[in-house]
Amino acid sequence: MTPKRKQRLMLVGLLVAGVSMAVGLALTALNKNINLFFSPSQILAGEAPENTHFKIGGMVVTGSVKRNDTDSDLDVRFSLTDTAETVEVSYTGILPDLFREGQGIVATGSMKQGVFIADQVLAKHDETYMPPEVADALKAANEKKDGETN
């Protein structure tokens, strides 16, 4: 083999090794860090597994937000609905600025004994904005309801 060929082979080898390492790393890490999204209907239908981390989205039910004010912890409970089903959410911390009753939000966390324990609550920075996941979930729930009434 000429030195030039050798060099080229080395380069290609390095590139292949690098890329396969990247793909391997990325896929392994990806598998561990994917958050699935479920709507309240899907959760009550048992689609969301217990003890895994996932996202939930829906509208905050009006009148459902309850802070435990006397406690020094910032515990808060509220209900999320996709208009068909409702799931109770529990969160400790400060809610985002645009968290309001009737607003579409997304929360990350896991289900424990029928309550969604959230470690993050996201509301988008625009009052008219609806997270696409939530919009789709609402639409799916509505279609289901329509199907039942027809």
Give the range of 65-73, 82-90, 109-117, 141-149 binding other proteins by CB under 8 A. Answer: 65-73
Of 37, 24, 25, which is closest to residue 133 (Cα–Cα)?
37
Residue 97 touches other proteins, criterion: CB under 8 A:
yes
Using the minimum distance from each CB to other proteins, give the nearer residue, 37 or 88: 37
DSSP state of 72: S
Among 73, 113, 146, 148, binds other proteins (CB under 8 A): 73
What are the residues facing 111 on neighbouring strands? Answer: 116
CB 108, min distance to other proteins, A: 8
CB 149, min distance to other proteins, A: 26
Touching other proteins, residues 37-56 (CB under 8 A): 37, 53, 55
62, two tokens: 């009006």
Using the minimum distance from each CB to other proteins, give the nearer residue, 74 or 145: 74
With tokens 């689609």, the residue in question is 47
Neighbouring C-beta atoms of residue 42, cutoff 10 Å: 20
CA distance 110 to 131: 20
x-or-dash string of contact with other proteins, 117-146, rule CB under 8 A: -------xxxx---xxx--x----------
Q: Which long-range contacts (CB under 8 A, 24 or more apart) does 30-37 make?
A: 35/108, 37/106, 37/133
3, two tokens: 């030195």
Q: Which positions touch other proteins (CB under 8 A)? A: 3-4, 7, 10-11, 14-15, 18-19, 21-23, 25-26, 29-30, 32-37, 53, 55, 67, 69, 72-74, 92-95, 97-98, 124-127, 131-133, 136
